[in-house]
Structure 1
Amino acid sequence: MTLRLLFRLVSCLLAVMKYVSPFCLLYSMCLHYVSPLCLLFAKRLYGGVDLLSYGEWAVITGASDGIGRALASQLAKRGFKKILLIARNDNKLKDVATELELVAPTPVKVSRLIIDFAAESAEEIFKKVSEAVKGQQIEMKARKKGLIVCVGSGASELPSDPLYAAYAATKGASEAFCRSLQVCCNGIEVYEQGSQLLPPHSVSALVACSSTLCLQSASSEGVG
């Protein structure tokens, strides 16, 4: 109980600091040096999430590299039966697909979908994704069960680095999008991973917590 209260206290303190200008620098330092300790507390206090309880299908965007690739690997290791990888580079996706087949404890069906969000219209993207999952009975709304995880960033909370304004804006939009989805997606859980306690610009932060995949609610401070 003492550790749980300490973790909540640190989360609340960071939440206050980010809105007070004199403490912005200190807040940034805390993201880098205190958050690894918070991750350890989170793993100890809250344990892991049984992702297979939501279903055996996973659709991952940005799966060719970084956090997306690490997440795909973790889901394959956990026993997901079907994984759809989405990215721009098919050669990289082929490498990821091979990796997933090697690390999966049971046979896994890995599909690849090449999408360039900067070059294709929303209608084209929607059509391609719909065709890729057609007949697979994902149906989160119909089942009133599912999980959506958006990858956040400290850039949505702190003043951006020079020339990073567009990046910060997209992460702020992602956070607001998650908050709205939580209200309108009845029965589907929506989380934003990483805008508060995970160090910015760090893939290893998610991987370090991957054994339990602690999920942070977009509507709350801290990990839950």
Structure 2
Amino acid sequence: MSPCWVEYFTTFGLIVAVFLGYRICQGFYNIFNQFVLGRIFGPALDLKKLGKWAVVTGATDGIGLAYAKQLAKRGICIVFVSRSQEKLEHCAQEFAEKYGVETKTIVFDFSQPYDKYETVKKGLAGLEVGILVNNVGTGTTTIRLTETPDCDKKLNDLIHIQALSCAMMTHCVLHDMMERRKGVIVNVSSFTAYVPMPFMSIYPATKAFVDFFSRCMSKECETHGILFQCLLPHFVQTKMLLEDREPNLMRPSPDTFCKSAIGTLGRSERTFGYFPHFVLGCVANLMGERRAYEYIKDDVMRVRYRTLKQLGITPQE
């Protein structure tokens, strides 16, 4: 090989090495920024300057309630939106007493169509909303279009609660945020949006909508001072899992998860929110979709058979 070609290959190799080194350093900085600096210093934003109120959907249990606690600890007033009047009143009273913040409740069933959101709009009228947390969701029970009883209603409810609600709640607060040129919208998606999930196809599909909607809106609103963040948590030990287990490292309590997740605000627009879940995401990327599904297939099938057995139905192959 002539000296000329050796020089070309050496130069090319050096360029590739510099590029890869830069990407690796960038990746390590992103991890450090989210999960170390975020844990120590909290959000990279002054959340109180965004507006007096935060709106949290599905706020009476699980991740929604835990996220609302993190916001209230920082002196932000909370609007609780959920379907249970009794739970809403209990949470509102507890937060007012424990955290000393103003609270407001809006009773709303998110399985309703778009034309019912006037209730929410009226409830938010006149409030300076700086933060919206789109968290409301419904259970991860398996749905197979050919064997699930009352499938039509389940499909309607699931899509309305997890997909339509995200877009409609954003629509309810976005205009005022754009006028003030500041605000944060956190959309809670799921790790299931990451890997195809047969027998649970509708649930992860709605979560994939939340993920992609967040990414699109982030680009659309970045020049207006509005931050969109999508959270992609793996299992968090909430009532939605229908399993009474003790929280652990990989399956944290809602409080543990949200304490980590809120620290990523202003540091990442798309995040797993919790370092062990980030590690699982890296493993899923390395394995590829098919191998990642094979890894969780037994769990998915176990949930499916348990659900159908409770309904007295013989599973189809």
- Give the TM-score, by structure 2 length: 0.51
Larger helix proportion of the pair = 2
38 and 53 in structure 1: CA distance in 2 versus 1, 3 angstrom threshold:
closer
Q: Is the 8 A contact 1:155 1:200 kept in 2?
A: no
Map 1:138-153 → 2, pairs under 5 A: 138=129, 139-153=176-190
**Is 1:103 aligned to residue 98 of structure 2?**
yes
Residue 6 of structure 1, CA deviation: 6.8
Partner-residue secondary structure (3-state), 2:72? helix
Write the distance in 1 (CA, Å) between the matches of 2:270 and 2:66: 25
Q: CA RMSD in A?
A: 3.1
Structure 2 residue aligned with 1:90: 85
Aligned residue pairs: how many? 185
Structure 2 equivalent of residue 130 of structure 1: 121
Instruction: Give the corresponding residue for 2:230.
Output: 192
Partner of 1:24: none
Secondary structure in 2 aligned to 1:213? helix
Taking structure 1 as reference, are residues 71 and 204 closer, same or farther at Cα in structure 2, changes over 3 Å only?
Answer: closer
1:100–1:221 CA distance, 2 compared to 1 (3 A): closer
Deviation track 1:186-212 (CA, whole Å, cap 9, x = no partner) reads 22111112x2xx4334535523416x5
- The one of 103, 109, 112 equivalent to 1:116 is 109
Query: 1:43 is matched by which residue type in structure 2?
Result: G
With a CA cutoff of 8 Å and minimum separation of 6, indicate the structure with the bigger relative contact order: 1
Q: Contact 1:11–1:222 at 8 Å: present in 2 too?
A: no
CA deviations on 1:156-186 (whole Å, 9 max, x unpaired) are 11132x5322110111000011011112222
Q: Is the 8 A contact 1:59 1:84 kept in 2?
A: yes
Structure 2 SS opposite 1:209: helix
Per the normalisation by structure 1, the TM-score is 0.70
Corresponding residue for 2:27? 8
Following TM superposition, by how much is the alpha carbon of 1:11 offset from its aligned partner in structure 2, in angstroms? Answer: 7.4
- The aligned counterpart of 2:195 is 158
**AA at the equivalent of 1:200:** F
CA distance in structure 2 between the partners assigned to 1:220 and 1:92 by the alignment:
30
CA distance in 1, matches of 2:97, 2:26: 37
**Partners in 1 of 2:217 and 2:235 — Cα distance?**
24
Counterpart Cα distance in 2 of 1:7 and 1:122: 42
Give the letter for the 2:209 counterpart: A
Max Rg structure: 2
Q: Which residue of 2 aligns with 1:179?
A: 215
Match of 1:169 in 2: 205
| Pairwise CA distance, 1:147 | 0.6
Seen in structure 2, the aligned counterparts of structure 1 residues 44 and 116 have a Cα distance that, compared at 3 Å, is closer
Partners in 1 of 2:70 and 2:40 — Cα distance? 21
User: Is 2:210 aligned against 1:217?
Assistant: no
Residue 49 of structure 2 corresponds to residue 53 of structure 1? yes
Mapped to 1, the partners of 2:189 and 2:270 lie a distance apart of: 13
The change in CA–CA distance for 1:11 and 1:217 in structure 2 (over 3 A counts) is: closer
Letter in structure 2 aligned against 1:53: K
Query: Residue 21 of structure 2 corresponds to which residue in structure 1?
Result: none
String of CA shifts for 1:3-47, please: whole Å, max 9, x gaps: xx67824979xxxxxxxxxxxxxxxxxxxxxxxx99743535774
Shift, 1:51, TM fit: 1.3
Percent identity, aligned pairs only, is 30
Paired AA for residue 190 in structure 1: F
- What is the rounded CA distance, in whole Å, between the counterparts of 2:272 and 2:257 in structure 1? 17
Answer whether contact 2:39 2:260 (CA < 8 A) is retained. Answer: no
Tell me how far apart the structure 1 counterparts of residues 258 and 127 of structure 2 sit (CA, whole Å). Answer: 29
Structure 1 residues 137 and 214: CA distance shift in structure 2, 3 A: closer
